[in-house]
Structure 1
Amino acid sequence: MARNIFNQPPRNETESGAPSPTPPKAAKLPGSVGGLRDSLREITANSIRDIEPDQIDMDGLRDRLVLEDSSIDELAESIRKHGQQVPIMVRPSAQPDRYRIIYGRRRLAAIRKVGGTVKAIVRTLDDDASLIAQGQENNLRLDPSFIEKSLFIKEMQESGYKPGVIQDALGLTRQGVSNHRVVIEQLPDGLVQLIGPAHGIGRRQWGDLAALSVKVDLVDIAKEALAALPDDTPSSEKFQAVYSACSSKARSDKKPPNRGLTSVINDENGSSLGTLTIDEKAIALKVTKKDNPEFGQWLEEHAEATLLQLFVQWRNERGSGS
């Protein structure tokens, strides 16, 4: 599911399929010359550069369900008025004069709307370090929703990242990662795309919705429920509408308990002899002694023998008919 949402290339590859570059090892120079060169390299690696947006590839794992939304327009307007206040981070690509995004996808999208260059920190990081930097920076600036983190975790695991890297990227414990993964694995494909990030909706609520998947078709009900909402309905309200519709459907589909079929047995004169109740679990014959005291007494004395006689008769008829 996460791959369909993020639609990103596998780790260790650029959009063109080339592997991530390995930082070249610098030749060591003696004395103060070597130290000066190392210092200059460190300053350059952490300096802020002005880069053309079309030189930056939007690859890697994404941790947002929605990138092109109204918030991008608002951010673009802010940058138009006040300039870019916070740089993005990129790393060199295998192709000359090209870079791969580490974090700052929303800022890059906004600047592409505004026009001009983007301020970026260029760092030579491997895939693990890039992922950790991306996760930690985004958690600090705009905390992803529970379901976005869940999808991000699933994507990282399927891409082969180690548990420790995933935990560091999102600042979660091992149990925290497990809690997210358990929920996302229960949700059917396509449901999260319909609802969206749903900020403010936590693990318990998503877990309750996931539990309904064994009772009703969540995706079909979600499509019907969301079709009745305005297009600009906030994602969290979409979740509530879907959960309410799925819960109602699950309750209505629940079969009422079978209380059994009861019939009155009358004699030839129409007087009641008793009642016969049949359900899925038992057959019950009830004779009220108050209405038929003598018959009730006789039946009490002969009930066991009569039942055995009926059983023998059934067995004989079963045997003769086989």
Structure 2
Amino acid sequence: MKRKDALRAALGARSLDRETAPELPAGNPAEAVEAPPEAPRPLVRSGAVGAMGRSLGRIASAAAEARAMVASGDRVVELDPALIDGSFVQDRLTGDPAEHAAFVELIRERGQQVPILVRPHPSAEGRYQVAYGHRRLRAAAELGRPVRAVVKALSDEDLVVAQGQENSARADLSYIERALFAIALEDRGFDRATIMAALAVEKTQLSRLLGIGRAVPAALVAAVGPAPKAGRPRWTALVEALARDGAGEVVTRILAAPDFSGLSSDDRFARLLAGLAVPASRPAPTPAVWTNLGGRPVVRIERGRQGTQLTVDDALEPDFAAYLIQSLPQLYATFTESRTRDETD
């Protein structure tokens, strides 16, 4: 059995929802809304206080959205949350319960300052479908309140672009959530131009998202969660690790650990990636040699579990070691800049 088949057998095959999306009816009578005041910038801490701070920050950053809606002449109506369905394509995994609870509490205390965007439902008369604002809708439903919304007639393409760009503008989706969103759009038949517009990415970035998202089994993503701190390089490393012999058995063992589900999403990702590392029992790699333009073996490179060692042959290049040491600050600055760029791809 191939490695990929063995891994899928261990975790379960990916299944994607292929429901069909409809169109919307007219909205309720509209009422004008004043632009909400800016919320104070919070001090973010860990735990429940940190969750409250992050929710405050998102509400503050969304105030401009509400003002833009008013400035463009859009009107806000109050709708029964029970009449509103989610988007036909999912854009996020299960969130942090503590953060959601803090968000609901803010809505309870401050009210819903930023309207959501909906369209009349394409196939269910009298109902609506969300373009963005799923968390605000869920909070209003839990509080038993009507939700304030802008109702617009949107095509399927308009809806997914609005949905994706709203999340991209707030840097609200993790890397793997963006990858799964891209896959869901592609599987529903949207062209690459629409998907790139929805995610505000270029062609190369979209190809990476699709490649990584399709290489990780759905059951594994569901078990790990959004892993908000894991960017493209770490997901790429995980994909490479999953291709190794015996990866399926290792993943099954890690996911079955009694304490695994109690970890944060980022910690679950870290444990999985560490567990899939090359076993210590494997033989040490043969040292590599870097040669200069003249073909002389100037640097011996040895990589092991404890680190990487460079040995410069002073007899061949007497001044190179000193030059290398002096250049370390500049080399590290270049490395840091490239890594930051990769994390945002």
Shorter chain as denominator, the TM-score bin is: 0.5 to 0.7
Closer, same or farther: CA 21–135 of 1 in aligned 2, 3 Å: same
Task: Kindly indicate whether the alpha-carbon contact (under 8 Å) linking 1:8 and 1:59 is maintained by their aligned counterparts in 2.
Answer: no
Task: Provide the residue aligned with 2:308 in structure 1.
Answer: none
Letter in 2 for 1:180: L
Task: Provide the residue aligned with 1:235 in structure 2.
Answer: 265
Letter in 1 for 2:178: K
Q: Deviations over 1:1-57 (max 9, x none)?
A: 9xx98965534x2xxxxx43599xxxxxxxxxxxxxxxxxx9998311000000001
2:201 counterpart of 1:172: yes
2:181 counterpart of 1:152: yes
Task: Provide the residue aligned with 1:291 in structure 2.
Answer: none
Q: For 1:43 and 1:188, locate their aligned partners in 2 and report how far apart those are by CA, in whole Å.
A: 44
Task: Provide the residue aligned with 1:211 in structure 2.
Answer: 240
2:161 counterpart of 1:132: yes
In the TM superposition, what are the counterparts of 1:1-322 in structure 2 within 5 Å? 8-11=17-20, 13=21, 19-21=22-24, 46-67=74-95, 69-93=97-121, 94-226=123-255, 227-229=257-259, 231-247=261-277, 250-252=278-280, 254=282
Q: Deviations over 1:202-260 (max 9, x none)?
A: 1111111111122145454234324243644211111110011111xx42574789xxx
SS at match of 1:239: helix
Q: For 2:15 and 2:108, locate their aligned partners in 1 and report how far apart those are by CA, in whole Å.
A: 28
SS at match of 1:157: helix
Q: Deviations over 1:143-177 (max 9, x none)?
A: 21111111111111111001111001111000110
Closer, same or farther: CA 161–6 of 1 in aligned 2, 3 Å: same
SS at match of 1:70: helix
Task: Kindly indicate whether the alpha-carbon contact (under 8 Å) linking 1:57 and 1:101 is maintained by their aligned counterparts in 2.
Answer: yes
Task: Kindly indicate whether the alpha-carbon contact (under 8 Å) linking 2:117 and 2:150 is maintained by their aligned counterparts in 1.
Answer: yes
Query: Unpaired segments of 5 or more residues in structure 1?
Result: 14-18, 24-41, 258-322
| CA RMSD, 1 decimal | 3.0
Letter in 2 for 1:153: A
Q: Deviations over 1:183-219 (max 9, x none)?
A: 1222234111111100111111111111112214545
Q: For 2:14 and 2:130, locate their aligned partners in 1 and report how far apart those are by CA, in whole Å.
A: 18
Q: For 1:44 and 1:22, locate their aligned partners in 2 and report how far apart those are by CA, in whole Å.
A: 22
Task: Provide the residue aligned with 1:309 in structure 2.
Answer: none
Closer, same or farther: CA 219–105 of 1 in aligned 2, 3 Å: farther
> 1:111 deviation in Å?
1.3
> 1:125 deviation in Å?
0.6
Letter in 1 for 2:184: E
Closer, same or farther: CA 232–140 of 1 in aligned 2, 3 Å: farther
Task: Provide the residue aligned with 2:338 in structure 1.
Answer: none
Alignment size in residue pairs: 229
Task: Kindly indicate whether the alpha-carbon contact (under 8 Å) linking 2:15 and 2:218 is maintained by their aligned counterparts in 1.
Answer: no
SS at match of 2:276: helix
Task: Kindly indicate whether the alpha-carbon contact (under 8 Å) linking 1:89 and 1:102 is maintained by their aligned counterparts in 2.
Answer: yes
Closer, same or farther: CA 108–8 of 1 in aligned 2, 3 Å: farther
Closer, same or farther: CA 69–8 of 1 in aligned 2, 3 Å: farther
Letter in 1 for 2:269: F
Closer, same or farther: CA 253–58 of 1 in aligned 2, 3 Å: farther
Q: For 2:248 and 2:222, locate their aligned partners in 1 and report how far apart those are by CA, in whole Å.
A: 10
Task: Provide the residue aligned with 1:304 in structure 2.
Answer: none
The structure having more radius of gyration, on CA atoms, is 1
User: What is the percentage of aligned positions where both structures have the same residue?
Assistant: 29
Task: Kindly indicate whether the alpha-carbon contact (under 8 Å) linking 2:77 and 2:148 is maintained by their aligned counterparts in 1.
Answer: yes
Letter in 2 for 1:233: L
